[in-house]
Structure 1
Amino acid sequence: MPSNRELENFALAKEVKRRYNKRNGILGYRQMRTQLNRKLKKSYNRKRYYRIMRALELRAVIRKKRSKYLKVPALHIAENIMNRKFQAVAPNQKWCTDVTELKYGNGRKAYLSAIIDGYDNSIVSWVLQPFQ
């Protein structure tokens, strides 16, 4: 004669199998637990779902991660004039610039763009622009 716990496990296994097939095997034991506990308004342990799914030989299908960016070919590629020779023999011959993102406050950002002279590495100009 099966105990109350075994009867509960059989009913839970039936529901797990039904949900697993309905979602084409996407759900693992964590999501299965979240959804069924919400539906049944009970709080079963995650290990219980893990044991039931392991006994039924049900495993979640690991989906391929989607890329978060689009690969777009470059429209214009600048010519490499300096060829990594940044030092100059006289002032105002070679200027270099860069844009730096600064994070401050509660998720706020600012962009700093500075222009330096290649002769003595002095700052020629700079702009600090907060981002809204």
Structure 2
Amino acid sequence: MKSDVSRAAYYKWLSRKPSNREVENEAILRDIHLLYQQVDDIYGYRRIALTIKRQRKEKNQAVVNEKRIYRLMQVSGLKSVIRRKRKPYHKSPARHVAEHVLNRAFASEKPNEK
């Protein structure tokens, strides 16, 4: 079985160091996972972005773009869970009951007869 990657490229990839961007993405992703667990999977990327921006501003770290957080959440498979509260259904009593005039005889000879 022949692969498309050369042997030299494979071994170079194996001993490579992660870039600064990758290291920063991992740190952001750890923050995202921590926050996501704290809020019981309710927050979507917008709320997570707001909270992480606020946290990073307090720590005097670089602010992260909302799109980057969206991309990282998508890659890791994190989505918000929307729980809608539904009002219980209570059947209301009938206020006016019409007379049963037709007695299931629906056939008529002319239009507008019944």
| Category of TM-score, reference length = shorter chain | 0.5 to 0.7
Runs of 4+ in 1 over 6 A off after TM superposition: 69-74
Number of matched residues? 80
- Compare relative contact order (CA 8 Å, sep 6+) and give the higher one, 1 or 2: 2
Name the one with the larger strand percent.
1
Separation in 2 of the partners of 1:19 and 1:10? 14
Corresponding position of 1:28: 44
> Matched residues in 2 for 1:70 and 1:51: separation?
38
How high is the TM-score relative to the length of structure 2? 0.55
Structure 1, gaps ≥5 residues long: 78-132
* Match status 1:14 vs 2:30: yes
Q: Percent identity, please.
A: 34
* TM-score, with structure 1 as normaliser: 0.48
1:91 counterpart residue number: none
Q: What SS does structure 2 have at the residue aligned with 1:15?
A: helix
**Per-residue deviation at 1:71?**
8.2
Higher share of residues assigned helix: 2
> Runs of 5+ in structure 2 lacking a partner?
1-16, 96-114
CA distance in 2, matches of 1:55, 1:25: 16
Backbone CA RMSD of aligned residues: 2.5
